[in-house]
């Protein structure tokens, strides 16, 4: 049987890492956020993870809008895609030692390859619990902004890390439920050449941009950056309704002949 006192004490210690007083968070939600689906098919953190993913994206968007209002939308989208990636979330989760609090089945404990993915999911579930407890981002932004600021500064000083491919993928999936494709060719045989590879972005049978880079990945990122703004503008244009045919006059009935009457017997012999 679980020792409730020590269980709550452990959760209080977790909240202290976020500088959140224990009384501001609903304990049942936080406990649920720390139960992996491998432990229970009915009581687990999947739904909180779903909500936390949305809360995380909103918090990142608010942060960028408040601190970098002049930043182009394409750069904002690329930075947000980077900071909400599983790799970054797992790093933040490790910073708070979430793995020490997560309940896993024995089989999941042995799955070392899935550790980072589970930690990222758990952090999102914790965000979901915090959001539901407050009804807003007030329990999230104060500690998350520190990480967002550090990550954004790193990306601004090293644009190669910005994930324009992910931002473009989100854009096309949102509007068309489809993904762009890339065609990459090697145009230089010189190792280390900054323009060794040329990449083109194709979407719906049309090329939307091209870019060059010293690696295939960097060339694709450069092409995605070019394509993002053009595609965003194109996809945001309202679709013109099909032309309507001019109204037609209602059909007229054919003229009717006057009624005929049969002659009377008297008239017939006159």
pLDDT classification of 229: cutoffs 50, 70, 90: confident
Q: Tell me which residue of 142, 21, 150, 35 sits closest to 91, measured CA to CA.
A: 150
Asked if the model's pLDDT at residue 266 lies above 60, the reply is: no
* Rounded distance between C-alpha atoms, residue 251 and residue 193, angstroms: 74
Asked if the model's pLDDT at residue 6 lies above 50, the reply is: no
Q: Which is the catalytic residue, given 36, 49, 121, 124?
A: 124
pLDDT digits (tens, 9 = 90+) for 172-217: 988 899 999 999 999 988 877 888 999 999 999 999 999 998 889 8
pLDDT digits (tens, 9 = 90+) for 100-139: 999 998 888 888 888 899 999 999 999 999 999 999 999 9
Domain 164-236 has CATH 3.30.420.40: no
Contact call for residues 121 and 45 (beta carbons, < 8 A): yes
pLDDT of residue 254: 59
How many CB atoms are located within 10 Å of the residue 111 CB?
13
Q: Which residues contact 72 (CB under 8 A, 6 or more apart)?
A: 229
Q: Minimum mean pLDDT among 25-29, 61-65, 188-192: which range? A: 188-192
Number of H helices, E strands in the chain: 11, 3
Tell me which architecture the domain covering 4-161 has in CATH: Orthogonal Bundle (1.10)
Asked if the model's pLDDT at residue 84 lies above 50, the reply is: yes
pLDDT of residue 232: 83
Active-site residue flag, 124: yes
Q: Is 139 exposed, middle or buried (0-12, 13-18, 19+ CB in 10 A)?
A: buried
Q: Which is the catalytic residue, given 49, 53, 75, 121?
A: 53
One fold for 4-161 and 164-236: no
Residue ranges of the domains in the chain?
A: 4-161, 164-236
């Amino acid at each position: 049987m679980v020792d409730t006192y020590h269980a709550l004490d452990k959760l209080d210690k977790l909240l202290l890492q976020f500088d959140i007083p224990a009384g501001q968070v609903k304990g049942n939600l936080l406990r649920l956020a720390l139960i992996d689906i491998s432990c229970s098919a009915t009581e687990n953190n999947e739904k909180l993870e779903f909500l936390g993913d949305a809360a995380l994206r909103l918090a990142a968007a608010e942060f960028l809008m408040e601190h970098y209002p002049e930043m182009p939308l394409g750069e904002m989208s690329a930075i947000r895609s980077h900071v909400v990636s599983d790799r970054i979330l797992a790093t933040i989760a490790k910073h708070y030692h979430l793995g020490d609090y997560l309940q896993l089945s024995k089989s999941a404990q042995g799955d070392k390859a899935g550790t980072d993915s589970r930690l990222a999911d758990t952090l999102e579930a914790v965000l979901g619990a915090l959001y539901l407890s407050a009804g807003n981002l007030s329990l999230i932004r104060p500690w998350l902004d520190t990480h967002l600021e550090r990550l954004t500064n790193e990306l601004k000083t090293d644009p190669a890390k910005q994930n324009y491919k992910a931002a473009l993928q989100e854009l096309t999936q949102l509007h068309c439920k489809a993904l762009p494709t890339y065609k990459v060719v090697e145009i230089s045989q010189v190792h280390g050449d900054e323009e060794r590879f040329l990449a083109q972005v194709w979407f719906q049978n049309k090329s939307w941009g091209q870019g060059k880079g010293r690696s295939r990945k960097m060339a694709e990122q450069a092409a995605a950056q070019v394509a993002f703004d053009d595609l965003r503008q194109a996809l945001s244009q309202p679709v013109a309704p099909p032309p309507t045919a001019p109204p037609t006059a209602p059909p007229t009935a054919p003229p009717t002949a006057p009624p005929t009457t049969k002659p009377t017997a008297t008239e017939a012999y006159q």
